[in-house]
Structure 1
């Protein structure tokens, strides 16, 4: 089917785009909910990394993970949501998974987490570049 942008996709491609959005959102939405329930612990962990205003940073993390995660899931303002989550993830990855500054026994685990996050950023950038597919609120509202 041809979109309003002139791009043609198949039902299979649209199904894969929906599945991709859901799988990436599955990483962020539960994390946002857990930060609400464990707000003090989240702020404490952020403070332990030396960041200023840890409560504000925790609130931003919740807004990004939960708010932008839901936007990505439903395909609403998908490109904006994907970019926001990608930028947040890059910043958080360099702060919280800085394997190069970890004790030797933590390097492998933190390096894996670092590169997994960077791979997720790659998926988010693909949604920014190509949009959410036809099975999205963006497609229904002509925001493709």
Structure 2
């Protein structure tokens, strides 16, 4: 049983993580074709389908995160999105990034986001969520 302050911390953590994803998800949703074109330029197969999945994860995932719906599925979707974007950004050269931490702050920030989402996966949304109100 969590205390009231722990439930408040879980709610605040959910809102802060969602605040990271939601603006860029909305931007990608409004510029869907440009995002699909950038994936096409990177040589991705089926760029429109992949764009749809990524945009859905980045826009709908934070909304589910704020509300506290399907906590494990939401966490897994956002972890998958973050991992996919890491792969699209850095490609197979990710292994060399671990040994140059000062030169790749964004890479380690994304790993920290994945860590926070894994904690959400393990702890759940807390009492102040749609899942707990049912």
Q: TM-score, normalised by structure 1?
A: 0.81
Equivalence map 1:1-144=2 (5 Å): 8-98=1-91, 100=93, 111-141=104-134
State the alpha-carbon separation in 2 of the partners of residues 110 and 62 from structure 1.
Answer: 28
Q: TM-score, normalised by structure 2?
A: 0.86
Q: Is the Cα contact below 8 Å between 1:49 and 1:96 reproduced in 2?
A: no
Larger Rg: 1
Q: Is the Cα contact below 8 Å between 1:36 and 1:62 reproduced in 2?
A: yes
Q: Is the Cα contact below 8 Å between 2:14 and 2:65 reproduced in 1?
A: yes
Alignment RMSD, CA only?
2.1
Bigger share in helix: 2
Residue 110 to residue 37, structure 1, CA distance change in 2 (3 Å): farther
Q: Is the Cα contact below 8 Å between 1:97 and 1:110 reproduced in 2?
A: no
Residue 86 to residue 110, structure 1, CA distance change in 2 (3 Å): farther
Instruction: Please give the per-residue CA displacement for 1:2-60, whole angstroms capped at 9, x wherever unaligned.
Output: xxxxxx11111111100110111111122221112111211111122211111111111
Aligned residues: 129
Higher relative contact order (CA 8 A, sep 6+): 2
